[in-house]
């Protein structure tokens, strides 16, 4: 059979669809939802090559068929990621992050240039016999995930190992600042990464080092570094011109950016924050009993993902939850609704979730909202959303080997033993073996 090369992808049959030019065929395939792509690959070699080709994603961009996803990183099974398709209410899995650091946590996550980037962080692994923590508190590792090729790649490391730091994208480049380095020492150093050249360069340090964890949000094209428990905000517009210090008196709590507006959840309410004023938007009583939830903006909505239920009275049991609650903050009467929860949930007592959020689409435009890990992925150019990192585990203390997945052509059910944990559809879109 005669083959031809499709761009930088693999070899294809002469026609993706018989009787149609490949350019037209790709535009037809561009309308197929991302979660069905594994089925397209089963048709023939030509379709498999097309699904993995950059040309298909360019076609998706041209026809406006981008999709947005939330991406969740589980603590147990360690370093496992899931994608949530809010349009079709489907969870999907992607390959396990191949880092040698167990239970990676306190990392930065952003998306740019059509890829997801996971930067730094440290290990939350604990020896079950001794209670000792893994010695890796901060790393300079950087990983990128290519949704077209469906694989992780290791990038040039950061100049300084760091965890609990601010991480944002400005003009397609990744800026990291502050946090803690090895030996739990707080730092003010900042640096910028060029994904095209895979290089890191130092930029001016933060003006002040407050010896606390920090996070970053992008508002109005400027990076804002927010320090836990402090009202001072350090702002960067042009990376090599240095930081500006402002006292915005922002409320403390999980943050999310929606349509370039900052929202924070605190004291059972969600507030809209501006330079020196705040406006209460909606009650957060629906999620007020949850501790350590991840919060992210997606479209005109805010998603609150996971966390643990705050124990009350004499009940000291900490109950994890995989719930996903959504509120439309830009409507006249915001109303909460619940979507199907994540596939895995943490049940270990004392577990908590980090609030670090990332936003992306298949074109990978990203904004970071606070310190949990939720990602938004748009799969035509691949726009990854807010990444929410959560500590999770399987219900009932079961181990990963105790979980059986049953898949059909239309839906899947996860079971432990004979009882179904969830009734929503779970699709193994990515295989960790690819």
- CA distances, 14 to each of 8, 18, 25, 50 (Å): 16, 9, 12, 12
Give the predicted TM-score (pTM) of the model.
0.75
Q: What does the pLDDT read at residue 114?
A: 74
Domains and CATH numbers, the chain: 3-63 (no CATH), 70-415 (2.120.10.80)
Q: What does the pLDDT read at residue 434?
A: 36
Q: What does the pLDDT read at residue 369?
A: 29
Q: Which of 271, 221, 263, 227 is nearest to 245 (CA)?
A: 227
pLDDT digits (tens, 9 = 90+) for 268-318: 899 999 877 889 999 988 787 787 788 888 888 999 888 788 776 666 677
Q: What does the pLDDT read at residue 414?
A: 28
Q: What does the pLDDT read at residue 187?
A: 95
Residue 73 has pLDDT above 70, yes or no: yes
CB 136 within 8 A of CB 126: no
Q: What does the pLDDT read at residue 342?
A: 60
């Amino acid at each position: 059979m005669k083959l031809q090369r499709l761009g930088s992808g693999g070899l294809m049959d002469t026609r993706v669809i018989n009787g149609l030019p490949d350019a037209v065929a790709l535009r037809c395939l561009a309308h197929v939802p991302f979660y069905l792509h594994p089925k397209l690959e089963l048709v023939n070699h030509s379709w498999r090559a097309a699904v993995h080709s950059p040309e298909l994603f360019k076609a998706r961009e041209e026809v406006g068929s981008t999709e947005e996803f939330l991406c969740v990183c589980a603590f147990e099974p360690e370093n496992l990621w899931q994608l949530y398709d809010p349009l079709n209410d489907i969870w999907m899995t992607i390959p396990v992050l191949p880092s040698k650091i167990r239970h990676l946590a306190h990392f930065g996550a952003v998306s740019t240039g059509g890829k997801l980037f996971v930067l730094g962080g440290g290990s939350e692994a604990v020896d079950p016999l001794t209670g000792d923590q893994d010695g890796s508190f901060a790393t300079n590792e950087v990983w990128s995930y290519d949704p077209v090729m469906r694989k992780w790649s290791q990038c040039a490391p950061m100049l300084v190992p760091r965890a609990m730091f601010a991480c944002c994208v400005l003009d397609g480049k990744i800026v990291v600042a502050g946090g803690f380095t090895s030996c739990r020492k707080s730092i003010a150093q900042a640096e910028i990464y060029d994904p095209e050249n895979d290089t890191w360069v130092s930029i001016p340090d933060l003006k002040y080092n407050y010896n606390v964890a920090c996070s970053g949000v992008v508002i109005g094209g400027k990076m804002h570094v927010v320090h836990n428990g402090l009202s001072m905000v350090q702002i960067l517009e042009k990376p090599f011109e240095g930081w500006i210090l402002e006292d915005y008196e922002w409320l403390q709590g999980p943050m999310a950016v929606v349509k370039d507006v900052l929202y924070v959840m605190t004291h059972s309410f969600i507030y809209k924050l501006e330079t020196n004023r705040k406006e209460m938007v909606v009650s957060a009583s629906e999620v007020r009993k949850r501790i350590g939830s991840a919060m992210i903006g997606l479209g005109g909505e805010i998603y609150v993902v996971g966390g643990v239920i705050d124990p009350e009275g004499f009940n000291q049991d900490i109950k994890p939850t995989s719930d996903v609650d959504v509120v439309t903050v830009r409507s006249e009467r915001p109303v909460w609704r619940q979507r199907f929860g994540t596939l895995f949930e943490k049940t270990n007592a004392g577990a908590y979730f980090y609030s670090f959020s990332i936003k992306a689409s298949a074109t990978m435009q990203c904004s970071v909202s606070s310190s949990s890990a939720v990602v938004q992925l748009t799969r035509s150019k691949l726009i990854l959303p807010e990444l929410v990192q959560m500590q999770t585990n399987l219900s009932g203390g079961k181990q990963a080997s105790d979980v059986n997945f049953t898949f059909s052509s239309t839906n899947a059910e996860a079971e432990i033993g004979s009882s179904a944990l969830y009734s929503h559809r779970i699709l193994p879109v990515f295989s960790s073996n690819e």
